[in-house]
Chain A
Amino acid sequence: MASHNLETSPYVSDEVRQTTCYMCACRCGINVHLRTGSDGKPKVRYIEGNRDHPINRGVLCAKGSAGIMQHYSPARLSKPLLRTGDRGSGQFKEIEWDEALNLATEWLGKVRKQDPKKLAFFTGRDQSQSLTGWWAQQYGTPNFAAHGGFCSVNMATAGIYTFGGAFWEFGPADWERTEMFMIFGVAEDHDSNPIKLGISKLKSRGVKVVAVNPVRTGYNAVADEWVGITPGTDGLFVLSIIHELLRAGKADLDYLIRYTNAPWLVIDNPGEANHGLIARNKAGKPLVINRKTGKAVAYDGKGAKPNLKGRIKVDGVEAVPVFELLARKYTSADFSPEETAEITGVPAEQTKRIAQELAAAAFEREIVIEQPWTDMKGERHEKMIGRPVSFHAMRGISAHSNGFQTCRTIHLLQILLGSIDCPGGFRFKPPYPRPVEGQPKPHAGAKPGEPLPGPHLGFPRGPQDLLLEDDGVSPKRLDKAFSWDAPLAAHGLMHMVISNAAAKDPFGIDVLFMYMANMSWNSSMNSGSVMDMLTAKDDDGEYVIPKIIYSDAYSSEMVAFADLILPDTTYLERHDAISLLDRPISEPDAACDAIRWPVLEPDRDVRGFQSVLLDLGARLELPGMTNEDGSAKYSDYADYIVHHQRKPGIGPLSGWRGKNGTETGRGEPNDDQLKKYIANGGFHMEEVPHEARYFKHANAAWQDFAVKMGFQDAPIENVFQLYLEPLRKFQLCAEGKADPQPPATHRHRVLTCFDPLPNWYAPFEGAGISTADFPHHAITQRPAAMYHSWGSQNAWLRQIHGENTMYIPAEICDAAGIEDGDWAWITSHHGKIKVPVTRMNAVNPKTLWTWNAIGKRKGAWALDDNAPETKQGFLLNHLIHELLPPKGDGLRWSNSDPITGQAAWFDLRVRVEKAEPGHETSEPQFAPQKSPVAPAPDVVDYGKEWTE
């Protein structure tokens, strides 16, 4: 037998550096193995998951594993660029950083001095919003937000208003204990690896997973039961489940009385200005009916035994408990599974059975943990008793114009079953819960040369907190957030920024400043028109948006549309704080935060955007970023991360605070903080005391912990809001009973959509066009192995998703005479695209779908002009307008949720026609942009120097 030369114990790497992944928003811990390359410099040998990390516990997804190709991508920008050709052409010259920063300072300084609202600063895949938001606040423009408005603001806002949390980074299921798990509208999403780990745990315990999604791929494929729902009807389906549960008497009344506003009294005084408001005593405390005395008493009075039904006169006005209103509403026949089946596409039998299974899991498989705890009223409980059903929802729910209300229906279902933050249910991740009472209100202001009085984004308590000009109608913000268009727009409306700026509605701007947002392509609705808006000129020949500054690490489609490019670093070359002030990475049992640090030095003339922003802040002499002598307060972002204090003792990172690094949460800055993080694998983890791990919304030990850690300065009461009074206040304004009053054009939709009890209404696009002309729905899903456009420059990931196809249900194919592999025209009220077709059975019969953001524009991402991404790949975005079909009132109605302004991507309605054979190229095609980076190599044989 021949002997084979086999080394089973080869050398692996010189050094392992632990940092945080940035290949998507999941933010896993990674071990970056470095090994000397052929040039004698350290090079990435291998990236694996960090086993100790709370998020991913050692695993790593396809994107994270392709980090090498991202870090060494040929699409990396290498030097600041100044536009030389027409906007959109991609013609630039390289300039030095000094010149770039001087130019930016000049443009931004002028605006700040004259009229700061003429700057719009929006960030996309930004993971440093607590810095970028603070910067914008110090600058003084009201026009700041990140991309939440077109991402999942419905999810976040509905959750915060209802129970002080939400899905995703706000909380997961109790994977170890839950007995039934339901996911709604979840394809691949931000919580990528934790969800996979979680579902795996459920599978190994034999726990049933039910997936509600028009498309049966990914998580929905492995689920034990699939509900192939029609898009935009999930709320109605959930209300039918609630109908069944209530009719069967399956609600946790004790939980409702203790933790929710179910017993609160609602004034029943039709036609009057207080109709539908919560009845309160003189101290402003909501009232309930005391079962013992039959009298109205403050809800939190000692010894009160609140009733959930009844009718009482309070100050001469009738009032009824929330629960009675709720029970009457949802037990009505309108919500019976038989009644809703036609609309939702879910057979009544299935809805009923799922309701029964939920009830059985919640009430017959009660979980008891022998852990005493004390609630905020001082009552001691010997055990933690849980209703082990849990839920998760994501983009499929939020990206509809009824998404806010739909999210509320899911939370209502959770709460009726008593499953929020109980053993086996949904669990809050620190620093959550954080109810509206613990959240800021939105701020505008915009006085020349002055910072805003508070943060831009927040949670209005009612119409009085809207950001309106003195006329009570005109928005103060460019994106019209917190106006009558989108009163609870807690994440802003990034998808409206360019459109509104181009239309000068409500006003024009001078500088558009964006970071990591591919707005001329996949991050915008109506991408073709957005390109026109970015290049539109006034009568005087000047660009309508006069200056555009953009920062990105890569040659994205957006680069060509900027005047000044500030090249960013890759994720392995930068500092970042994954901060508890921002979007943290905590686990339910531990408060966690993390850093990124330069595990490799840049080999290009690029700078981390956050450092650049602080530099610009110092040049603009913004408060907080400048010392008294005018010098920069922070040398770079790392300096800021360590030394910035939002409040005394509270900074971006919670670990190793205090002079000696011995404090956690609160404490003075510690010069060695980053070193400590690096030594600990790039993250910090503070365990939540056992007593504080469940019922955090009402748990005294949790409140103590939250105060100690600096999440809040005092205990915050968190009563789950089944009945959302702020919405009723908006309705009263629309009824003309209170001020400010919305314009007549907006009244109808406020009255119909702002129901204080979770409700369902048909998505707007379908209601505004003829469904006979556009009978089908079309949606996208994000593939697990590709993150937005980012993946296309990645030599490995683009082999997996180099082109996309439209998956069309067999029924629709047959009706249109389309066969597998044919091409088809997909038409919406707004546009038409030509796409390749794959026939599919495992999909809702009315719904077409495709992978998101695979199609690319020629000239971007260092790809060949004939790349499959440009020729076969396509975007659904071209079919989706940022505005609703015109209603004839002359207004530009945003294609968004009327409550939060969330972009309604998935409201899209289409029709399908077979395309003539031949010319198999997707439409529309756009002229190539000139690539701002050098041509990419033909061959990649990564690791050759170590394998010879």
Chain B
Amino acid sequence: MHPAISVIFFTVSSGAGFGLIFLICLGVQLPESGLPAFLVSLLAGGLAVIGLISSTFHLGHPERAWRAFSQWQSSWLSREGVLAVATLAAFAIYALLWTFTGNRVETLGLLVSLLAAATVFATAMIYAQLKTVPNWHVWLTPAVYLAFSFVSGLILAGMINAQGRILGIELPWLIFICVLGAWALKVAWWKRADRIGFSETGSDTGTATGLGSLGQVRLLERPHTGENYLTREMVHKIGRKHAMKLRLLALIAGCGIPMVLSAIAAFSSSGELPMALAVLSLAIGLFTERWLFFAEAKHAVSLYY
């Protein structure tokens, strides 16, 4: 699949934003109120909103984007839109109360957290629902999206308050474990992707054309000699070697370096700086991971090209 920058940015940025919202609303230790609280909320909401805005650059008619809220009963994309707006609206109330009163309303927080998680899940399901892209069509896809969203939120939280704790565990250590866990999921996802091809559905050029029983089927001539929407969008080809290098980069930047930095943060009095570096490094890792998520995904249409 064509790795569109707008969509990559959207999933990474919104993922991080909703991850942070999730943590804020679960009550992770952060500034008590006032401007700092507002800024933290702005960061979380901003990442989510910027991501969402970025996603509209992918649309042919962004001015009609409002129409996407209508089909929540059947469409994951619509659900994602509805959930995102609901999450952000509820979070706005939460954030305002927090900013102005210092009160972090627990029940509301729980609701926002649930909504944020659901939003990320819906985002992932846009991809995971597609039977046409075997790499994506698996429960691991939402798991990975949720995990990376969570980890992004954690590291952002760590950057804001490295001394914070969740369930009694210091954030840096939690980050250390969760980063490892998230990437473990991703490695499992990759392992499956490498093995899957089209084997889950049994699709090949033979089934795509219905001619497999006659012999070995191969494309001799594309319908048109030039590129078209389908070839640009769905028949993206990436060299295996190139992909492996990028996976390594993703692992180092997204996993290795943040783990090292979180360990440093755990032993340092001001862990915020290493955590800020970890945010940057994670961003590089996730952008790479997300680019590969699209670029390596084979679409059933490629069986015709």
Contacts and interface: CB of A to CB of B under 8 A. Distances in A.
Judge A-B direct contact (beta carbons within 8 Å).
Answer: yes
Interface of A: 2, 799-804, 838, 840, 842, 868
Given A800-B225, A838-B220, 5 more contacts: A801-B225, A802-B224, A802-B225, A838-B221, A868-B226
Contacts of B70: 2
A819 to B, nearest CB: 13
A840 B226 contact: no
B224 A840 contact: no
A799 B224 contact: yes
Grouping DSSP codes into helix (H, G, I), strand (E, B) and loop, the A interface class, with mixed when no group exceeds half, is loop
10 contacts: A2-B70, A799-B225, A800-B223, A800-B224, A800-B225, A802-B226, A803-B225, A804-B225, A840-B220, A842-B220
Contacts of B226: 799, 802, 868
Contacts of A2: 70
Interface string B212-249: 00000000110111100000000000000000000000
Nearest to A873: B225
Closest 8 CB pairs of A and B: A802-B225, A799-B224, A803-B225, A800-B224, A802-B226, A799-B226, A801-B225, A840-B220
Interface residues of B, number: 7
B103 to A, nearest CB: 43
Interface of B: 70, 220-221, 223-226
A803 B226 CA distance: 8
Nearest to B222: A800
Contacts of B225: 799-804, 868
Which of A2, A800, A804 has the most chain B CB atoms inside 10 A of its CB?
A: A800
Nearest to B228: A799
Contacts of B224: 799-800, 802
Contacts of A799: 224-226
Which of B221, B225, B226 has the most chain A CB atoms inside 10 A of its CB?
A: B225
Contacts of A804: 225
A172 to B, nearest CB: 28
A804 B222 CA distance: 11
B273 to A, nearest CB: 47
Nearest to A801: B225
Nearest to A838: B220
B227 to A, nearest CB: 10
A267 to B, nearest CB: 55
B225 to A, nearest CB: 4
A151 B226 CA distance: 30
A840 B221 CA distance: 10
Nearest to B70: A2
A799 B224 CA distance: 6
Contacts of A838: 220-221
Contacts of A801: 225
B184 to A, nearest CB: 38
A782 to B, nearest CB: 15
Contacts of A842: 220
A85 B220 CA distance: 45
Contacts of B223: 800
A546 B224 CA distance: 43
A802 B227 CA distance: 11
A807 to B, nearest CB: 8
Contacts of B221: 838
A837 to B, nearest CB: 13
B302 to A, nearest CB: 16
A694 B134 CA distance: 62
B188 to A, nearest CB: 34
A215 to B, nearest CB: 11
Nearest to A2: B70
Contacts of A802: 224-226
A838 B224 CA distance: 15
A787 B107 CA distance: 73
B201 to A, nearest CB: 26
A222 to B, nearest CB: 14
A801 B225 CA distance: 6
A947 to B, nearest CB: 16
Which of B70, B223, B226 has the most chain A CB atoms inside 10 A of its CB?
A: B226
Contacts of A800: 223-225
B264 to A, nearest CB: 47
A4 to B, nearest CB: 13
A840 B220 CA distance: 7
Nearest to A803: B225
Nearest to B221: A838
A838 B221 CA distance: 9
A799 B220 CA distance: 17
A801 B70 CA distance: 42
A840 B219 CA distance: 10
A801 B223 CA distance: 9
B133 to A, nearest CB: 25
Contacts of A803: 225
A800 B226 CA distance: 7
A480 to B, nearest CB: 39
A842 B220 CA distance: 10
Nearest to A797: B224
B271 to A, nearest CB: 51
Contacts of A840: 220
A308 to B, nearest CB: 47
B148 to A, nearest CB: 36
Contacts of B220: 838, 840, 842
A159 to B, nearest CB: 33
B269 to A, nearest CB: 57
Nearest to A800: B224
A838 B220 CA distance: 8
A390 B220 CA distance: 31
A939 B70 CA distance: 34
B243 to A, nearest CB: 19
A570 to B, nearest CB: 24
Nearest to A783: B221
A858 to B, nearest CB: 18
A864 to B, nearest CB: 13
A800 B221 CA distance: 10
A701 to B, nearest CB: 49
B289 to A, nearest CB: 30
A364 to B, nearest CB: 31
B66 to A, nearest CB: 14
A838 B219 CA distance: 11
A188 to B, nearest CB: 14
Nearest to A799: B224
A842 B225 CA distance: 20
A2 B71 CA distance: 11
Contacts of A868: 225-226
A90 B135 CA distance: 54
A2 B225 CA distance: 40
A500 B171 CA distance: 90
A802 B223 CA distance: 11
B239 to A, nearest CB: 14
Nearest to A796: B224
A477 B245 CA distance: 70
B117 to A, nearest CB: 30
